[in-house]
Structures are given as structure tokens and as C-alpha cells.
Chains A and B, each alone.
Chain A
Amino acid sequence: EVQLVESGGGLVQPGRSLKLSCAASGFTFSNYYMAWVRQAPKKGLEWVATISTSGSRTYYPDSVKGRFTISRDNAKSSLYLQMNSLKSEDTATYYCASPGNWFAYWGQGTLVTVSS
């Protein structure tokens, strides 16, 4: 059974940092491009970052470029998102997902709340 399990969310003050993790199982993690997608409360889905299979290529939208860093450890079948200089508008549920197979795999999400 395919599983993506996110962790690391919580309440953080504006300007601070947080690192999210996603543990994958049930599929060959190293074969897939992976991504982070977020959803603000009562809002739609927003793509946050993509990483290639080896980790050598990464992509970000302008809204997080320079503040967020996606990485992966294929030996541990894990995906990460380092979030720096957090803003209130980064408040959302963060999902790890698999664009490598057309977004067939999603985690349950982890909630990040940025507030003083």
C-alpha cells in the first residue's frame, strides 16, 4: 500500500523557520519526481515546489522562491521542505504529492500556522 506521511507542521511566529518531512512507502520513491502542494484554509490548491528524481533540479513559484527549499533523501525514501522567513500567508495544510505519476499519490497533509 502506498503511503505518504507528512510531519513537522505546527504553530510558528512570522519570520521564523520550519522544516517539513514526508516519509514514503509502498512504491519506488527514487523513481518519481515529488512535490509539495499547499492549501490555505477554505482555499484551493497551490503548488509550492518540485524536485527531480535525483534531487539535482528544483522548481518553485515566485511566492516561495528564495525562502523555501525542497530536498529529498532517496536512501530514506523521504522528502523535505525547509521553510524560512515564514509569513502569515504561508498558513496552510502542506501536502507531499507525486507529480511524477500525475499526482496519483498524496499524503494526509500537515498544518502550518504562521502567527504571533
Chain B
Amino acid sequence: DVVLTQTPPTLSATIGQSVSISCRSSQSLLHSNGNTYLHWLLQRPGQSPQLLIYLVSRLESGVPNRFSGSGSGTDFTLKISGVEAEDLGVYYCVQGTHALMYTFGAGTKLELK
């Protein structure tokens, strides 16, 4: 089974600070069709998760461009360039490369310093 390891588990930031979250997979997420099915979600307190980034680096419609994703194979990164108060919550990476059996990372909680 694919395991996604997110680091750090908790991230303290000030408003305006740039931060990064890592997601490492136990197996390559490159599909035989050339796509890499690694996505990033944000769950704000008391809300359902929402999609931020899909297919490693594509910004979901309506998501601010201070969010960006990068990576390949087994190593992926979500970067927030200038944290705003509305960005607080728990970030999850999720993979869908392997036979429609999805795996979520354990989450990274972003809080204000």
C-alpha cells in the first residue's frame, strides 16, 4: 500500500511569511499514462476539505495564486507565498495513482505564531 508522509505535522507562521509542506510517497506516483495523481487539500476548522492543487501543480479555479505545488516521483511540496489568516487549517496531500485506492497524508496543521 502507498504511504504518504507529510512534514512537518504542525507549522507556525506569521502573516506574510512563506511556508512549505512536504509530502513523500512510499512509491512513485507517476502513472503509466504520464500523469501524477497527487493533489493538495485544505480543511479549515469546522469545514469540509477543499481542493487547492491537483495533478501536482495545477491551481484549482478560485484558489489564490500564492499557493503553488511542485515535485515528481515520490517527493512533492506545497508552498504558500505569503500566508494570510484565511489559510489557517489542516493541509492534506492525497494520491490517486494506484488503482483508484486513495491515500491521504496525515495532515499538516498551519497555525499562527
Contact = CB atoms under 8 A, between A and B. Distances in A.
Indicate, yes or no, whether A interacts with B: yes
A79 B107 CA distance: 27
Contacts of B105: 44
Interface residues of B, number: 24
A30 B50 CA distance: 21
Contact of B104 (A44, A50, A108): A44
Contacts of A99: 96, 100, 102
A33 B41 CA distance: 18
Contacts of B50: 106
A45 B92 contact: yes
B49 to A, nearest CB: 6
A110 to B, nearest CB: 11
A90 to B, nearest CB: 17
Interface of B: 37, 39, 41, 43, 48-51, 54-55, 60, 90, 92, 94, 96, 99-107
